[in-house]
Amino acid sequence: SQQGEEDPQALSIQEGENATMNCSYKTSINNLQWYRQNSGRGLVHLILIRSNEREKHSGRLRVTLDTSKKSSSLLITASRAADTASYFCATDAAGYSTLTFGKGTMLLVSP
């Protein structure tokens, strides 16, 4: 299976703290993406990192990719209560276009 698996399954932090979520996958990829899902809503694309990139930033988000370990991390700095959501990594296998999602990490940021 190509799917990414996020770790931890759930994370609870205080506002202002950093949140780190990890994702592991099994086979070679074209790129890896992170999505966010608020309760009862659709997924929203956050950031994409290509297989030849090692790190990418977007605002308070920092994504790393280690293709030798087949893993990625998403760091949210200075978290806010509004960051409370589920976060999913998604990968597309080399040669395919289908995005495969993991089970997600549920992040709770308390004020």
Partner 1 sequence: EPEVTQTPSHQVTQMGQEVILRCVPISNHLYFYWYRQILGQKVEFLVSFYNNEISEKSEIFDDQFSVERPDGSNFTLKIRSTKLEDSAMYFCASSLASSLHFGNGTRLTVT
Sites of contact with partner 1 (CB under 8 A): 3, 30-31, 33, 35, 40-45, 48, 88, 92, 96-104
Q: Is the peptide bond before 111 cis (omega within 30 degrees of 0)?
A: no
Instruction: Write down the number of H helices and E strands in the chain.
Output: 0, 11
Residue in this structure with the two tokens 């770790």, named with its chain if needed: 7
C-beta closer to partner 1: residue 18 or 50: 50
Q: In the complex, what is the shortest distance from the CB of residue 86 to partner 1, in angstroms, rounded to a whole number?
A: 10
Closest of 2, 27, 8, 26 to residue 73, by C-alpha: 8
Q: In the complex, what is the shortest distance from the CB of residue 41 to partner 1, in angstroms, rounded to a whole number?
A: 5
Q: In the complex, what is the shortest distance from the CB of residue 91 to partner 1, in angstroms, rounded to a whole number?
A: 11
